[in-house]
Amino acid sequence: MKKIIAAVVCVLLAAMLLAGCSSSNQSQQQQQQQQTQEQQQAQPSQETLKDGVYFAEAKDFDDHGWKPMATVIVKDGKITNVFFDYINKDGKLKTFDAEYAKNMKAKTNTTPLDAATALANSLISKQKVDEVDAVTGATHTVQDFKTIVAEALKNPVTSQGQYKDGLYKAIEKEFDDHGWKAMVAVIVKDGKISSVFWDEINKDDNTNYKLSNADYAKNMEAQTKITPTKAYEALSKSLIEKQDPAAVDKVTGATHTTEKFKTMVSEALSFAK
């Protein structure tokens, strides 16, 4: 009889232990599920992004005098365009800095423009910031890109004027017959065009920027009485005054550049409307 009672007691104790373990496991699972749900709610899902323009600019400059900025375009719930760059205290963009490009290419075999293009393409392909591919020679840039894009995706831009605030870019798909490819960047603040950047890169050397090419400037000035830099300055000034690329004044001696400038600025600003 004592053996039977002992056996029953053992069975009951085992059942109680199993029930306790089961209850403990269920409690842990519930806690984990709750934590996961809270984390998902705290982080905005890129899969549910609303169509529009998103923009962010870092508050502080780094030790080298640069800070990142990014505009993200969302259409049909997907990221379709990303415009990323660094701006310095003088209001210049890193991807338009020929000297910086040469120095970076010599050290890391890549340029700010190459890195920015690769990162933008990776995000458009992956659609998730944390899955963006690394770029060899630009580790710090990759981290800055991920941070500022994540911040931008929290900040949808509303219209404040003719254009939405942000950084907007356009670059030609092909090099022209002379081996040059034009690129433009426009910054909009408070609904107005505040600055514009323009240059052309060479097919054989992506650190060879036309505005910094002394030989090209000398030859152009001999033929047309104007240099690429002077043409850009006149076009930039006219754009900021007129606030409309179609109304930009023609620059004598740079007819082709004027038309190309107006076309590309219009393309860049098409994302700001």
| Residues 192-251 pLDDT 10s | 999 999 999 999 999 999 999 999 999 999 999 999 999 999 999 999 999 999 999 999
DSSP strand pairing (180-189 vs 78-88): unpaired
What pLDDT is attached to residue 160?
Answer: 78
Backbone dihedral angles phi then psi of residue 129, each to the nearest 5 degrees? -60, -45
Cα 140 to chain centroid, rounded: 14
CA distance 150 to 79: 12
DSSP 76-123: TTEEEEEEEEEEETTS-BGGG-HHHHHHHHHHHS--HHHHHHHHHHHH
Percent of the chain past pLDDT 70, that is, above it, reads 83
97 Cβ contact partners less than 8 Å away, ≥ 6 residues apart: 112
| Mean pLDDT to the nearest integer, 81-102 | 98
Q: Inter-axis angle of helices 112-126 and 139-152, to 10 degrees?
A: 50
3-state DSSP call for residue 196? strand
- Which one, of 254, 210, 212, lies nearest residue 235 by Cα? 254
| Residue range 147-202, pLDDT digits in tens | 999 999 999 999 878 999 999 999 999 999 999 999 999 999 999 999 999 999 99
**What pLDDT score does 9 carry?**
41
* Reported pTM: 0.83
Average the pLDDT over 124-146 and give the result.
97
20 pLDDT higher than 80: no
Residue 205 sits at φ, ψ, to 5 deg, of -150, 105
Gap between the Cα atoms of 265 and 273, Å rounded: 13
